[in-house]
Amino acid sequence: MAFYYDEAAHTFNEYLLVPGYSSAECIPAAVELTTPLVKHQLGGQSDLSLKIPMVSAIMQSVSNDTLAIALAREGGLSFIYSSQPIERQAQMIANVKDYKAGFVVSDANVSPGDTLARVMELKEETGHSTMPVTHDGSPTGKLLGIVTSRDYRPSRTPTDAKVAEFMTPREKLVVAPSGTTLSEANDIIWDNKLNALPLVDDFDHLVYMVFRKDYASHKENPLENLDADKRYRVGAGINTHDYQSRVGPLLEAGADVLCIDSSEGFTEWQSRTLAWIKQEYGPDVRVGAGNVVDKEGFRFLAEAGADFIKVGIGGGSICITREQKGIGRGQATSVIEVAEARNQYAKETGIYIPICSDGGIVYDHHMTLALAMGADFMMLGRYFARFDESPTAKVAVNGNYMKEYWGEGSARARNWQRYHSGGDKKLSFEEGVDSYVPYAGPLKDNVALTLAKMRSTMCNCGALNIPEFQQKARLTLISSTSIVEGGAHDVMLKDQVGALPPSFR
């Protein structure tokens, strides 16, 4: 007969953390949130880490290049969605890698014979207002000058005016040789009050550009998630259907890590995908897998070679897998069991495989609970979909601003690769909905608030980093009455009083 679990599966909302002793040194400003992204030797350091324990979901309505840049700036990482043509996904990856580097190969260049109309067109295409002028309009041509927004006035300069007529010529530019270090380049920029510094070779051909704003950005965002070349880190989603043609272009574009995007990871399809990638590209290509909800699923993917493992089925706000198929498990119970399996595997093998809690996050404190239960980081969809940087439209609904948000299993996404294991290339039925979420403003402000809560809670438990938090955390199940008690109750909130009839005021 069927196997029955002895206990009910629980969600994050059914748990609370019990405070522990906090020393005078345990203050939010001292809390370190760095966490491993991929597997490593137990007691050692991961090759890829996150400065904050947050990654964005592999979804059309969440993770494009714009959000990836904003999240990497704060210390997290995005996985660019795979339910799109390979070329477009690879271009998004390239956009993130090219956005900020100490030395930038210019992607907005003009020649002296180009017109202001071409300058305006390039500015619209790339978002860049600083454009080197080279003899052939290429990023490596002989440097003849530079054009910035201070060199022309769109309302007065004719659109057919030649670049040679309004550019700042080469003899008036401050340049540096190509062997200049980044530190030296930044000193030159500051000493000469420049916005950009061209680096040229011995023949005066443009090699790189160094921008003042990149230096300022790093100082304002000390947790930036950068690679060895000081470029933003970014991940890419793949599926178990076209991975053989998709992985190569994504790696060539600069993807730092891959993740199999699937509704259920305890399958031969995922082990085949992992084996092929490791065989073709070697162990240095890091690939996450999932999703699983129990120790058997974790062990399967660990032995298949996964570099991190995602936990959770059916817990996402737009996911209706449980409703449609009757499979899944409460997210808290899933994380707890998989974390125990991860720790046991580490003791047996000496290899620590990070786990990612994916789904089930309703409130900010649920993220802190997920970490306490053993997750190394969280994958978030609805959370990031609310922000300016997500790719969806901001619309007014009944007087309130909302952002569109749809699941990868919805008819709108048409992502059959994620939910289908063979046969016709179509969704047999939907496992996600098309919806709205309340608009919340810029990512930076919202992430800062969430992390402030996380750090404060960790201090309440006497912990200054995530591993210490997981060791010291004490969790208690709560009753349905306790859940009610945990919010505002038995009072009339001030913003509700105005809605009452006069006789009740």
The single residue of 73, 382, 418, 455 carrying the catalytic annotation is 418
> What is the number of other CB atoms lying within 10 angstroms of the CB of residue 212?
16
Helix (H, G, I), strand (E, B) or coil at 55: strand
Q: Which two tokens stand for residue 305?
A: 């070679």
- What separation in angstroms does the CA of 274 have from each of 84, 265, 291, 459? 21, 11, 14, 39
Helix, strand, coil % (nearest 5) of the chain?
Answer: 35, 20, 45
Report how far residue 81's alpha carbon sits from residue 261's, in angstroms, rounded to the nearest whole number.
9
Report how far residue 73's alpha carbon sits from residue 374's, in angstroms, rounded to the nearest whole number.
25
Positive or negative, the Cα torsion across 62, 64, 70, 76? positive
Q: Which two tokens stand for residue 208?
A: 């790189």
* Strand duo 15-17 + 434-438: pairing: unpaired
| DSSP classification of residue 502 | G
The single residue of 26, 233, 299, 319 carrying the catalytic annotation is 319
Report how far residue 493's alpha carbon sits from residue 446's, in angstroms, rounded to the nearest whole number.
24
Q: Annotated catalytic, 418?
A: yes
Cα dihedral 403, 409, 413, 416, rounded to 10, equals: 170
Among residues 412, 415, 414, 455, which one has the least CA distance to residue 435?
Answer: 412
Q: Which two tokens stand for residue 104?
A: 């930038």
Q: How many helices (H) and strands (E) does the chain have?
A: 18, 23
> What is the number of other CB atoms lying within 10 angstroms of the CB of residue 384?
30
State the catalytic residues: 319, 418
